[in-house]
Amino acid sequence: MFKLPPPLKKIVDVLSELPSIGPRQAVRLGFYLVSRGQGHIKNFADALRDLGKIKVCERCFFVHENKGNLCDICADQTRRPDVILIVEKETDLISLEKTGKYKGRYFIIGPISKLGVLDDWQKLRLKNLLSFIERELGGKAEELILGFNPTSLGDVSAKLIMKELAPRAKKMSRLGRGLPTGGEIEFADDETLGSAIDRRS
Amino acid sequence: MFKLPPPLKKIVDVLSELPSIGPRQAVRLGFYLVSRGQGHIKNFADALRDLGKIKVCERCFFVHENKGNLCDICADQTRRPDVILIVEKETDLISLEKTGKYKGRYFIIGPISKLGVLDDWQKLRLKNLLSFIERELGGKAEELILGFNPTSLGDVSAKLIMKELAPRAKKMSRLGRGLPTGGEIEFADDETLGSAIDRRS
């Protein structure tokens, strides 16, 4: 059996542990890094070390570099603390935040498994949210918005979280469904068209 | 416009420079690394630093960790130095070497652009090969095997390299074409079947 030199094998193993990178791609990336030379590799390693400076917000679990324990959004006094949009991923938060439409807070629960159960650290995060609502919002949030994908998995996730949080919110909602802007009726699927009819405005 | 914290932005930039990793995937990988925590990030950075120990063979341009400047294959006195298999990529060399069928040497030219021209460092590598043939093989290799993919791009690459190297080889060849083992005649394309008929044995 052919063997890669151990340092190359090591980086290939590390790369192939990353989500969405397969073993073949990892080997190709390993050779690519070698071919780019020392300067490039050092630059990459330095960038990784600097990543250690990133902190995770103790309230919503988004990233930040602030002195305290809160991210920019949670530390922003002009944003409503009692309207909380729950998302699976940091990238979902970013997409929603880029609209500039939303002036409440967020909460990142993490990707929910296809089994429709929360893992241990998700339970911890949820506990964290519940105690925030208890402590800072007098036991009930004004509104909790479920920002899950409009997919069957997203529906399962929303139901799961809804069950946990319903007693702690005056109002619960999900992001609106309907025709995506720029889309064409002719090419929309039945579910989307059905939602567009139900939620016409 | 929404901004990522600079250390996260930096690693996302480094990741998205890697071949086959797009900007969205780079952002997701960046957040993944943060979520895995310090220990994992340090492990990754250490693996990258160790990659600096990898050397590139001065003769065939494959990787090695030897004291000298030659890789294991080029340093192996039992392998014929005058039969050289030219491949585009390290991973092609590995696939061929795993067969255990080949007892000559290799030469990695690097992926040839779709324009069908060699870039400057490929010209340097080729010059290196020509001077090896001149110096060590008395001006002509016994056989040069072109190990390019059986695709139209591979054909263009083979023609290009053939033109450069033909005066320096007693014999030039390409890897055999025909039915892949385990394949079915019914599902083979015309080109493959044609090759299988032409090269029947």
**pLDDT, tens digit, 9 for 90 and up, residues B1-29:** 578 999 999 999 999 999 999 999 999 99
Residue of A nearest to B25 (CA): A20
A172, amino acid identity: M
Per-residue pLDDT of A50-92, as tens digits, reads: 999 999 999 999 999 999 999 999 999 999 999 999 999 999 9
Say which residue, B83 or B116, is predicted with more confidence: B83
3-state secondary structure of B126: helix
- Rounded-to-integer distance, Cα B39 and Cα A49, Å: 11
Cβ within 8 Å, pair A10-B94: no
Closest CA relative to residue A34, chosen from A17, A51, A12, A16: A12
Q: Are strands B83-87 and B105-108 parallel, antiparallel or unpaired?
A: parallel
Asked if residues A2 and B94 have their Cβ atoms less than 8 Å apart, the reply is yes
Residue of A nearest to B51 (CA): A7
Residue with token string 């693996």: B47
Residues 11-30 (B) with a CB less than 8 A from some CB of A: 11, 13-14, 18-20, 24-25, 27-30
Query: Is A91 near chain B, with CB under 8 Å?
Result: yes
Burial class of A47 by CB neighbour count within 10 A (0 to 12, 13 to 18, 19+): buried
Instruction: Give the pLDDT score at B115.
Output: 86
**How far off is chain B from A23, nearest CA to CA, in Å?**
12
- Binned at pLDDT 50, 70 and 90, residue A37 comes out as confident
Query: Is A137 near chain B, with CB under 8 Å?
Result: no
- Rounded-to-integer distance, Cα A26 and Cα A157, Å: 32
Query: Is A8 near chain B, with CB under 8 Å?
Result: yes
Instruction: Give the pLDDT score at A191.
Output: 84
Q: Are strands A55-56 and A63-64 parallel, antiparallel or unpaired?
A: antiparallel
Residue B76 half-sphere exposure toward CB, CA atoms < 13 A = 14
CA dihedral defined by A16, B51, A30, B119, rounded to 10 degrees? 170
Query: Is B3 near chain A, with CB under 8 Å?
Result: no
Q: Which of A38-42, A97-101, B98-102, B132-136 has the highest mean pLDDT?
A: B132-136
Per-residue pLDDT of B109-144, as tens digits, reads: 999 988 889 999 999 999 999 999 999 999 999 999
Of A10, A35, A48, the CB nearest to B41: A48
CB atoms under 10 Å from CB of A29, counted, come to: 21
The ipTM estimated for the assembled molecules is 0.85
Residues 6+ apart with CB under 8 A from B166: B172
Per-residue pLDDT of A94-136, as tens digits, reads: 999 988 889 999 999 999 988 888 999 999 999 999 999 999 9
Cβ within 8 Å, pair B5-A56: no
**How far off is chain A from B14, nearest CA to CA, in Å?**
6
B147, amino acid identity: G
**How many residues make up chain A in this entry?**
201
Closest CA relative to residue B48, chosen from A4, A38, A21: A38
What is the 3 state secondary structure string of B127-177? HHHHHHHHHHCCCCEEEEEEECCCCHHHHHHHHHHHHHHHHHEEEEEECCC
Asked if residues B110 and B122 have their Cβ atoms less than 8 Å apart, the reply is yes
Per-residue pLDDT of A153-183, as tens digits, reads: 999 999 999 999 999 999 999 998 888 888 8
- Rounded-to-integer distance, Cα B179 and Cα B146, Å: 19
User: Which residues of chain B does A54 touch, with a Cβ-Cβ cutoff of 8 Å?
Assistant: 5, 7-8, 34
Residues 6+ apart with CB under 8 A from A115: none
3-state secondary structure of B145: strand
CB atoms under 10 Å from CB of B124, counted, come to: 10
For an interface test with A, the pick among B1, B25, B32, B44 (most A C-beta atoms closer than 10 Å) comes out as: B44
User: Which residues of chain A does B96 touch, with a Cβ-Cβ cutoff of 8 Å?
Assistant: none
Query: Is B71 near chain A, with CB under 8 Å?
Result: no
Asked if residues A148 and A85 have their Cβ atoms less than 8 Å apart, the reply is no
Query: Is A6 near chain B, with CB under 8 Å?
Result: yes
